[in-house]
Chains A and B, each alone.
Chain A
Amino acid sequence: MSKVIVDARRLLCPMPVIRVQDRAKELAPGTVLEAICTDPGALNDIPAWCRINGHKVLETRSQDDEYIVVVEIGEE
């Protein structure tokens, strides 16, 4: 299944989290979402947001000046 990309580059926290949250609302459980960020805070904040809202972080990585968080959407 294809991934849903959330482009949160140049946004500062908590905007990347808000973008992921608002997109996640529209997605079915099991969907994979990939957030691309430039604020390194996203590497902490998106996983924290996932933990409290029942989503699963599949991967976090940094690549050049970008930080990528891959999330599997959980049950409501």
Chain B
Amino acid sequence: MTKQIKAVALISGGLDSLLAAKVIQEQGVHVEGINFFTGFCVEGHTHAIRKKDKAKPKRNNALWVAEQLGIKLHIIDIVEEYKQVVFNPKHGYGANLNPCLDCKIFMVQKAKEWIAENGFDFIITGEVIGQRPMSQRKDTMPVVSRESGADELLLRPLCAKNLPETKPEREGWVKRDALHDFSGRTRKPQMALAKQFQIEDYAQPAGGCCFLTDAQYSSKLADLWEARGSKQYEMDDIMLLKVGRHMRPRPNFKVIISREEGEGNFLQGYRKQFVSIKTTSHAGPLALVDGEVSSDDLYLAAQLVARYSQGKMAEQVELEITDREGNVEQVAVKPLSPSEIPEEWHL
């Protein structure tokens, strides 16, 4: 009996990785999927938090792709190890804080470890030459193969014909003829192939697969690093960057103000880790204060929070300030006027 050849596909949830896996599956290879959770993944987080969006929960695209393919999917939490990629990307950042090339190398390297542990033969990705300016170029493809250590065990079925032969092709595990030669930014060949496979309703990610490609998110992360004096983050930090209005009135603290009820409920969960502020005389948001603060700072924060409450035009708004131990202090402040809130406070 011939040995069943097995490949693991990096599944992001987008169309390209779906097609790449399908192309290999069609050749009789056993395919399973692997999806890495970095903490920055564009999943339904903000969606899950915001009350108005709750009625129609968002699907997890990686799971959806696996289901379309009828393959197993292994979701791997790499949050801790991934920090090094975000802090010190050897190949630098893209337009924002996205370390795409290092990220790809890291993920393929993890996949390489995974196939060794699980008795799989090779790795597939949905990369296409020229598709993304930073990480998917003709000159970066060999960098990913080499620096990940996967070398010729890494096959890119969608553009393999434009690249040197890999081991799966040479050994006859897959037929090179049945692979593709896609290149450039166009999506047409992918769409045509999807049609051929009768795949519809796939996700169409805009910029990239994670929040680090988002300019606003990146600027909030850069602000966090600057305020802390070093590049560091915890899972809670990167979750909180997705929620609420972030404002920094003074270098030593920022205020995270909920924009609607769902966000308020979510921020509630952090009241033991942060000083929190809530209006009592008027309906208003819940806010967290991040940083070491003086009572003067807290007064300013309270004035700012009052501005986003229904008492924004009132002479006086009463608020409750709760410290991390749960001690409550009542204050009454005059809300800041819009002219007292400089643009630079908004992160």
Interface residue from A10, A40, A52, A65 paired with B67 (Cβ < 8 Å): A52
Interface residue from B63, B265, B269 paired with A48 (Cβ < 8 Å): B63
Q: Does A31 contact B (CB under 8 A)?
A: no
B37 and A18 contacting across the interface, CB-CB below 8 Å: yes
For A21, list chain B residues within 8 Å (CB).
74-75
A52-B48 in contact given A18-B75, A44-B57, A44-B60 (Cβ < 8 Å): no
- Of B39-47, B84-92, B132-140, B180-188, the one contacting chain A is B39-47
Interface residue from A18, A48, A52 paired with B59 (Cβ < 8 Å): A48
For B57, list chain A residues within 8 Å (CB).
40-41, 43-44
Name A37-74 residues within 8 Å CB distance of B: 39-41, 43-45, 48-49, 51-53, 65
A17 and B74 contacting across the interface, CB-CB below 8 Å: no
Chain A residue nearest in CB terms to B236? A10
B37 and A41 contacting across the interface, CB-CB below 8 Å: no
Name B250-305 residues within 8 Å CB distance of A: 265, 269
Complex Cα spacing A48 to B75, Å: 13
For B228, list chain A residues within 8 Å (CB).
none
Q: Does A4 contact B (CB under 8 A)?
A: no
Complex Cα spacing A11 to B283, Å: 28
A48 and B60 contacting across the interface, CB-CB below 8 Å: yes
B60 and A13 contacting across the interface, CB-CB below 8 Å: yes
Instruction: Say how far B305's CB is from chain A's closest CB, in angstroms.
Output: 23
Complex Cα spacing A48 to B77, Å: 18
Chain B residue nearest in CB terms to A67? B57
Instruction: Say how far A53's CB is from chain B's closest CB, in angstroms.
Output: 6
A44 and B59 contacting across the interface, CB-CB below 8 Å: yes
Complex Cα spacing A41 to B35, Å: 17
Q: Does B341 contact A (CB under 8 A)?
A: no
Interface size on B, residues (CB 8 A): 30
Complex Cα spacing A14 to B35, Å: 10
For B47, list chain A residues within 8 Å (CB).
41
For A49, list chain B residues within 8 Å (CB).
63, 73, 75
For A41, list chain B residues within 8 Å (CB).
43-44, 47-48, 57-58, 60
Name B54-94 residues within 8 Å CB distance of A: 54, 57-60, 62-64, 66-67, 70-77
Interface residue from A14, A40, A51, A65 paired with B60 (Cβ < 8 Å): A14
A14 and B37 contacting across the interface, CB-CB below 8 Å: yes
Chain A residue nearest in CB terms to B70? A52
Interface residue from B54, B70, B75 paired with A14 (Cβ < 8 Å): B75
B63 and A40 contacting across the interface, CB-CB below 8 Å: no
B48 and A12 contacting across the interface, CB-CB below 8 Å: yes
Instruction: Say how far A42's CB is from chain B's closest CB, in angstroms.
Output: 9
Instruction: Say how far B13's CB is from chain A's closest CB, in angstroms.
Output: 10
For the complex of A and B, 9 pairs with smallest distance between CB atoms? A48-B63, A39-B48, A45-B60, A41-B44, A41-B57, A12-B45, A52-B66, A40-B57, A41-B48
Interface string of A20-45 (1 = CB under 8 A from B): 01000000000000000001110111
Instruction: Say how far B65's CB is from chain A's closest CB, in angstroms.
Output: 10
Which of A44, A52, A53 has the largest number of chain B CB atoms within 10 A?
Answer: A52
Q: Does B239 contact A (CB under 8 A)?
A: yes
Interface residue from A39, A43, A52 paired with B63 (Cβ < 8 Å): A52
For B58, list chain A residues within 8 Å (CB).
41, 44
Chain B residue nearest in CB terms to A20? B75
- 13 sample A-B contacts, Cβ–Cβ < 8 Å, listed by A number: A12-B43, A12-B239, A13-B60, A14-B60, A14-B62, A41-B48, A41-B60, A44-B57, A44-B59, A44-B60, A48-B67, A52-B63, A65-B265
